Structure 1
Amino acid sequence: MKPPQASAQPAGDPPHRLGRPPGPISETASEAHRTWLEPVRTRLVASGLTLDTLGHRSNYSKARLSELLRGKGYYPGWAITHSVIRVLDIPVRPLRRLWMTAAEEADKGPDWIKSRISDVPMLVPDDQPVAHLGFTQTMCKPYTAYARAFLQSEQRAWKVVVETFDILWLTWDEATAMPNTPRHAWQLLRRKVLALAPRRPDGRPDLRAAAFSTIAQAQTCDLTERLHRIDVLAQFFDTITRLPPDQMDVTVLRYLCGVPDDAVPGVLGLQPAITHSLDRHARGALTQLRPIPESQE
């Protein structure tokens, strides 16, 4: 019997062995920094590569890679980040956007970011998974409307939606392996939106500002009547945030965002019967807490 042959290694690579997971992420790393760093660390662990092998393939020292993977020290440049994600076969385009967002949060100016990006030659664009592309096209409008209702800014709403889609792209294999991908995606978006939303003293999200952007009040010419409508709607919207989370989401999507009734279950990743029940209970609770205005447009 012939002795078993060793598995083939890429030319020039050191012998392959499973490495230990990198140390914990530094407490000083920002939330935006963690957003792209965690998928990179997950992919490294799944690859089985050691820091020695990663360093050999990326042409960076083990010490610098360890610092990058733990989010320690200065915010990393794009060149070393790009080199690592290419070794790990991570899509460049979404991670670059997340890297830029975190760089801004780390107080890196536009010139610094542009300079670091230009250090790396542009390569062939990543192939976006067809299913992910279809998902983003379907969810873009309702996701943005939900984010805008809480953030009251088209730019901020769009930014958080794009970030959500980018995270999903980076983790698409894991997301699609879950029993309910739309539900997973919705909860990801929801967490990000509510983390940025203004808060009431009791910790609830503050939805009152949405009263200023309704169609009904905008079409009212009489200033006194317009202010009255705004006050009534602001109090009503504030009451919505007292509902349980799923009831609040159904109410916001249906009555503030104008998402069609039959589309809400798909957005939330819930069965139609469950969504209908949530809507019915929410309307009942709101009627008891505060009469529903004649128009919530």
Structure 2
Amino acid sequence: MIWSPDADQPHPPDTSGRRGRKPAPISETAGLAHRAWLEPVRGFLFASGLTLDDLVDRSGFSKTRISELLRGNGYYPAWEITFSVIRALGLPVQPMRRLWTAAAREAHKEPGWITQCIQQVALQPEPPPLAHRAFTEAQMDAYTAYARAFLLTDDRARWVVAETFDILWLCWSEAVTGENIRRYAWRLLRARVMARAHRHHDNAPDLRAAVFSTAEVHDAVPGHFVVLSELVDLFDAIGRLPHDQMDVAVLRYLCDMPCEQIPDVLGLSPAMAHAVDHHARAALERLLSPHSPWE
């Protein structure tokens, strides 16, 4: 697999035998939406064996401009050069254009500039692969519920899920060759959510605000502050669990997902999901003992 959602700067081996100089690391000034498309594009380039000179020949743009694009350095790149690079790499255009547009807004580009850039490049209709569309429809609700638990609003949750599915489409030809597309996609979603989640000073995700969207709080009798305090402690503890344990706990206890659905969403076997849930419960019991509101 050429790009892993869990890797910040993937460096796949170059098996082409060609001596190309890889671009420097991504600039620290590149935003989250910018990195959403730049990281997988760099991963494809590293794995392809193409050099910067090859991209110059195929795209028609200078080495300096392409190098800046691949580093996320300087001005945010126009759609024309971005389009030329991804076409040289054989990547799908439709998801890339949406990701590029989101990052342009993040870079405070004017709507008129974005529209003008897009209009300069003629595009043909490009439907997603049928398998990608079916996967998106099957996982949309679960992914959105998970994202909402961390990001709190429907708009932010839907935005991150849409971004996730566009990156997945961008990487689809490689993702489907792996052993577990559900696991790959879930890790991608988690990475995009965690990049935007509110965090404690120790970098653990902070789930305490999610308490106020739960059924327990909505149904509580006014004055039951003890219940509210216990839920805050519980949700805070969930955010400090290891990734897989946290994911199972969030889906089951914050999103109220049926146990039998969780393995399919996470890309785990039922036995593995059950074991992870068991370890999560034990860890939370230790953290919250002697009082636990989640039995």
**TM-score interval, smaller chain:** 0.7 to 0.9
What is aligned with 1:11?
none
What is aligned with 1:65?
66
C-alpha distance after superposition, 1:222-268 (max 9, x if no partner): 5323x554333212211222333222211110111122211101111
- Name the amino acid aligned to 2:200: R
Matches within 5 A, 1:1-297: 20-27=20-27, 28-121=29-122, 123-220=123-220, 222-225=221-224, 227-290=225-288, 291-293=291-293
Distance 1:230 1:61, change over 3 A: same
Cα distance in 2 for residues equivalent to 1:176 and 1:294: 37
Larger radius of gyration: 1
Q: Which gives a bigger RCO, structure 1 or 2 (Cα 8 Å, sep 6+)? A: 2
- Name the amino acid aligned to 1:80: I
Q: Compute the TM-score of the two structures, normalised by the length of structure 1.
A: 0.83
Q: Compute the TM-score of the two structures, normalised by the length of structure 2.
A: 0.83
SS at the partner of 1:73?
coil
Distance 1:70 1:294, change over 3 A: closer
Cα distance in 1 for residues equivalent to 2:173 and 2:25: 23
C-alpha distance after superposition, 1:130-171 (max 9, x if no partner): 222221111111111111001101111111111111111111
Aligned residues: 276
Cα distance in 2 for residues equivalent to 1:278 and 1:45: 35
Gaps of 5+ in 2: 1-16
Percent identity for Structure 1 against Structure 2: 53
- Name the amino acid aligned to 1:192: R
- The 8 Å contact of residues 240 and 248 in structure 1, kept in 2 or not, is answered as yes
- Name the amino acid aligned to 2:174: E
- Name the amino acid aligned to 1:155: D
- The 8 Å contact of residues 75 and 106 in structure 1, kept in 2 or not, is answered as yes
SS at the partner of 1:262?
helix
Distance 1:126 1:201, change over 3 A: same
- Name the amino acid aligned to 1:141: D
- The 8 Å contact of residues 21 and 45 in structure 1, kept in 2 or not, is answered as no
Cα distance in 2 for residues equivalent to 1:47 and 1:187: 23
- The 8 Å contact of residues 19 and 51 in structure 1, kept in 2 or not, is answered as no
Cα distance in 2 for residues equivalent to 1:53 and 1:288: 57
Gaps of 5+ in 1: 1-16
SS at the partner of 1:259?
coil
Greater alpha carbon shift after TM alignment, 154-163 vs 39-48:
39-48
